[in-house]
């Protein structure tokens, strides 16, 4: 299905109460964005790296157009202008050599940070804004792949992957930022280890897809799980691998999803593999997943600082984690600006706003 043919969600998909709440939030968002478009665009530009601004001299105009497109979405659900901008950016990036970078995603997250200042602390508006910008990211990558991929088979393959991730995100709000954050971190770590970065990104993106088979009362529980609930939760790597296998995904990606909770000393699950027997993508996800979980806020615990998280990874190297992967992670995080880039790109704006 072409991007322009995507079906938009209808209000009938929500209960009357939820639909009314979303309608009010959308109206407030439209008013806030329309009234503050110039200020938002100027502050948005300040958060975008100078190199990207230099590379795209018409970037500020595009951001203003995107703000107009967002106003149309919040006004009457019309994605036409926003989709045109997204398709244009994706085609421009697709004409360059190499694969898609995460510049569009970083830019949208910077925009969310600025827009959040304007709309204030209202959770309804923030939730709808997050949801809409996340949809923009998904549309960008789908549009990019439609332009870049050589065959319809490849395009279909990519859409299936995106659909799987979106299906999980629809059930678990935390996963919406977590999957992307882990994927980007896996990609960076792989680049330090002579492992295919794209496959690492894909494995990280899909690592929790098996949670679609976990009941809602466990998946969304706002307290620590019981022993019996953990038995059910720990089945998600097997469920994920079983979901991915029939679509003929890369075998090493499926193996990584299956093994992403294995421990270096053999005490992990679901198989109890140890050391070098654990697929390398599984070892990479294990570290990236843990770092993101430690530094993210959950309903039943607050986030930890990056230094505290790294100390725990160090302490558990050779026990839970592959020491070489932890070392590669540190190399990634030691690169200038890496933490800001990763936190922006993961759409976890709280990490940015607290810096």
DSSP 264-313: TTS--SSS---GGGS-HHHHHHHHHHHHHHHTS-BTTB----HHHHHHHH
- Judge whether residue 155 has pLDDT over 80: no
Average pLDDT estimate for 8-35: 73
Between CA 355 and CA 352 the distance in angstroms is 5
Instruction: Please report where in the chains the tokens 């759409």 appear, as a residue.
Output: 347
Three-state SS sequence of 180-218: HHHHHHHHHHHHHCCCCHHHHHHHHHHCCHHHHHCCHHH
> Would the CA dihedral through 47, 50, 56, 58 be positive or negative?
positive
Phi, psi (deg, nearest 5) at residue 317: -65, 135
Residues 6+ apart with CB under 8 A from 355: 340, 343
Contact 262, 273 (CB under 8 A): yes
The candidate with the shortest Cα–Cα distance to 348, out of 202, 174, 205, 189, is: 174
Percent of the chain past pLDDT 70, that is, above it, reads 74
pLDDT band at 135 (very low <50, low <70, confident <90, very high): confident
- Judge whether residue 9 has pLDDT over 50: no
Looking at residue 257, what is its pLDDT? 95
Between CA 151 and CA 148 the distance in angstroms is 9
Q: Which domains does the chain have, with CATH numbers?
A: 1-148 (1.10.490.10), 151-355 (1.10.3210.10)
- Judge whether residue 166 has pLDDT over 80: no
Full DSSP string of 302-350: ----HHHHHHHHHHTBTTTB-HHHHHHHHHHHHSTTHHHHHHHHTT-HH
- Judge whether residue 294 has pLDDT over 60: yes
Looking at residue 118, what is its pLDDT? 79
Between CA 333 and CA 353 the distance in angstroms is 19
pTM: 0.60
Between CA 353 and CA 260 the distance in angstroms is 30
- Judge whether residue 278 has pLDDT over 90: yes
Between CA 45 and CA 307 the distance in angstroms is 30
């Amino acid at each position: 299905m072409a991007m322009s043919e995507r079906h938009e969600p209808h209000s009938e998909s929500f209960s009357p109460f939820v639909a009314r709440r979303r309608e009010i939030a959308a109206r407030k968002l439209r008013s806030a964005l329309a009234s503050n478009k110039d200020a938002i665009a100027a502050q948005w530009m300040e958060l975008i790296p100078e190199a990207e601004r230099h590379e795209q001299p018409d970037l500020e105009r595009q951001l203003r157009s995107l703000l107009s497109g967002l106003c149309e979405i919040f006004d009457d659900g019309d994605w036409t202008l926003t989709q045109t901008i997204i398709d244009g950016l994706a085609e421009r990036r697709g004409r360059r050599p190499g694969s898609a970078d995460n510049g569009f995603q970083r830019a949208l997250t910077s925009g969310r940070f600025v827009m959040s200042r304007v709309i204030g602390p209202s959770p309804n508006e923030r939730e709808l804004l997050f949801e809409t910008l996340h949809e923009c990211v998904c549309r960008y990558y789908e549009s990019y792949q439609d332009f870049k991929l050589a065959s319809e088979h490849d395009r279909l393959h990519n859409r299936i992957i995106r659909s799987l991730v979106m299906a999980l995100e629809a059930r678990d709000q935390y996963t919406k930022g977590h999957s992307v954050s882990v994927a980007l971190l896996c990609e960076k770590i792989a680049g330090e280890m002579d492992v295919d970065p794209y496959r690492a990104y894909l494995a990280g993106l899909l690592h929790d897809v098996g949670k679609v088979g976990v009941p809602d009362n466990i998946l969304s529980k706002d307290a620590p799980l019981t022993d019996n609930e953990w038995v059910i939760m720990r089945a998600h790597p097997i469920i994920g691998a079983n979901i991915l296998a029939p679509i003929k995904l890369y075998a090493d990606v499926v193996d990584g999803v299956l093994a992403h909770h294995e421990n270096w000393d053999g005490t992990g699950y679901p198989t109890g593999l140890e050391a070098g027997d654990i697929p390398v993508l599984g070892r990479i996800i294990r570290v990236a997943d843990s770092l993101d979980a430690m530094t993210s806020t959950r309903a039943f615990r607050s986030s930890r600082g990056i230094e505290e998280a790294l100390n725990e990874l160090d302490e558990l190297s050779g026990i839970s984690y592959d020491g070489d992967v932890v070392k590669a992670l540190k190399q990634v995080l030691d690169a200038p600006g890496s933490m800001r880039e990763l936190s922006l790109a993961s759409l976890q704006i709280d990490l940015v706003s607290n810096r």
